[in-house]
Amino acid sequence: MVNIDETWVNNNIGFPTIEASEETIIINQQGILYSSSAKSPMLTDYSKKAYMEKILEDNNASGYYEQSVDGVKSLITYTESDSLGWRYVRITPYDTITLEIRSMRLKTIYFILGFIALALIISVVMSRRIYVPINKVLHRMKVLESEKRNNLQIIRQEFLRNFILGRETYQAKALHEKFKYFGSTIDITGESVIVLLRIDQYRQCLDKYQDEVKLLKYGVMNICTEIGASSYHIEAVDMGEDTILLLVNWASNDEQSESDSLVGMLEHMRSSIQDHMKLSVSITVSPATKPLNQITSLYKQVTEASYHRLFRGFGCIIMSEEIMNMKSVVYEFPLNKQKQLVDSMMTGKIEEAKKIYTDIVNETAEYPFTVVQLAISQLTLTINNVLQALRKNNAFMVPPEFDNTIVSLNQVETIEEINGTFYQLFDDLGKLQDDKRATKHDDLVRKINDIIERGFKDSNLCINSIADEMAMSPVYISRLYKQLTFNTLTDVISDFRMNKAKELLTQSEHSIAEIAERTGFTSSSYFYRMFKRATGVTPNDYRKIGI
């Protein structure tokens, strides 16, 4: 018996080094193991193993087959019997066989995926480079389109403004072509009206929104065109400052129904602007015109009529034709009220002056706006004359010349603004006059008291002597002194003499007769009688009590 090591057999007989998971054995024709194995010792009988049956049956041939060995799917290969009757058998698990295939498959997949990713990256990079000029062109086209759209809107607004203001004139055909070019639906041969919107409290709006006022007006224009477009052909034009103009055009011949519908639409616009933009607008409507070549005169008409917001208030709707009809009424400035106003201001009757001024201004509400301007200018001139007279005659500082911006009334929105300026002037003037009057009265009382203090020793001191010294009427000076001090001059003179007499009785050794003479009493008996009436005691008793 020869014991041959498996490693020697593998190395020397021709088997390459096998994987640990493989098994190579040598068996004889009876299936006895003639080589050592990791699983079984030499001379182990393998003939009972299921996978050996086919090998033992096929005694003189080589081959291979697939079968489960110890629960592992394996490939079994074997050789034919040699001269000694030995056969070589190799058992290789399928996982070992397919390992390299799987590895190669994964490598192939990874390679393909990597190649695809690289190709995608390259294609993206290349496409971006390729599309850069195209994107630039597209971007430029969009910019140009936007600029054209914006410029077209600017040019359109400029055209409409120039047309309305009469800066540019067109023949009917040329005007039609212009409106058509700008995409306007206005029918220049149809009946049209112009509507002037003025933003109320515009100065406060400027302070609040500053540079965004144009955007705010653009929003107002959009609201108006959106509401009006359902029933009319309409164009909105920003006329600058607080003004927006609507050019409204219709084709119907039913003027009355269209007029009623127009007012309803304007009320809808006004409420929508208030709700969405939080703005109040006053609206002025022109009479209908046909064709559009009279639009410049209509614009001037509605502009002048819109100033009557002074009296109508914020959010009003004014029909310019109604205002223009006021021109047929002749206005005469009320000179009699002007004189009453001057007298009231000169005498310090401020509330009366306010009432007269208010009556004069309110009367102008029934006349064209030029009358309002003339009346306010006349009132301003009158008040300045009064201020100059007061400054000259009363020797006190009156307010400076009343040169107020209200002369430019198109900047004033409500009559309350004008009235407030005049009322403040009246109040300031009244306060100055009151202060002057109080100072003058104080001076009068002080002068009278000085005369009494200086002349109380003179028995002839009385109301008449004081009035003569001050060159005033005794009755007037007596009444005025009592109004200012709540005491009569006679009582003041008597009280002053009595106080001096009391002082002399307690602080001197003069006799009663001397004291009576020193305090202006005509006799000692009269002094006794008057002193006891005033104090309840005689002069002698008072001296004793005082001592």
Which pLDDT tens digit goes with each residue over 2-50?
555 555 555 544 444 445 567 888 888 777 888 877 677 888 888 778 7
Query: What is the Cα–Cα distance from 483 to 303, expressed in whole angstroms?
Result: 57
pLDDT confidence of residue 405? 45
In the block, residue with structure tokens 């003041």: 492
Structure token pair of residue 46: 């393998």
Mention every residue, 6+ apart, whose C-beta is less than 8 A from residue 237.
157, 160, 161, 164, 244, 245, 246, 247
In the block, residue with structure tokens 């929105």: 413
Mention every residue, 6+ apart, whose C-beta is less than 8 A from residue 451.
461, 466, 469, 470
Structure token pair of residue 521: 């009493």
SS (H, E, C) 525-540: HHHHHHHHHHHCCCHH
In the block, residue with structure tokens 């009158």: 382
Residues of the chain predicted below pLDDT 70: 1-21, 38, 131-150, 251-260, 393-410, 437, 546-547
Query: What is the Cα–Cα distance from 459 to 147, expressed in whole angstroms?
Result: 104
Structural element, H or E, at residue 63: strand 63-69
The one-character DSSP state at 71 is T
Provide φ and ψ at 491, rounded to 5°: -65, -40
pLDDT confidence of residue 536? 87
Mention every residue, 6+ apart, whose C-beta is less than 8 A from residue 2.
none
Q: Reading across the β-sheet that carries 23-27, which strands appear in turn? A: 23-27, 87-93, 72-78, 63-69
Which pLDDT tens digit goes with each residue over 381-399?
888 888 888 777 665 565 6
* Residue 166 DSSP SS3: coil
DSSP strands (E only) in 302-414: 317-319
DSSP string of 170-215, one letter each residue: --HHHHHHHHHHTT----TTSEEEEEEEEETTHHHHHHHHGGGHHH
Query: What is the Cα–Cα distance from 452 to 473, expressed in whole angstroms?
Result: 17
Amino acid at residue number 272: S
pLDDT confidence of residue 82? 79
In the block, residue with structure tokens 């640990």: 20
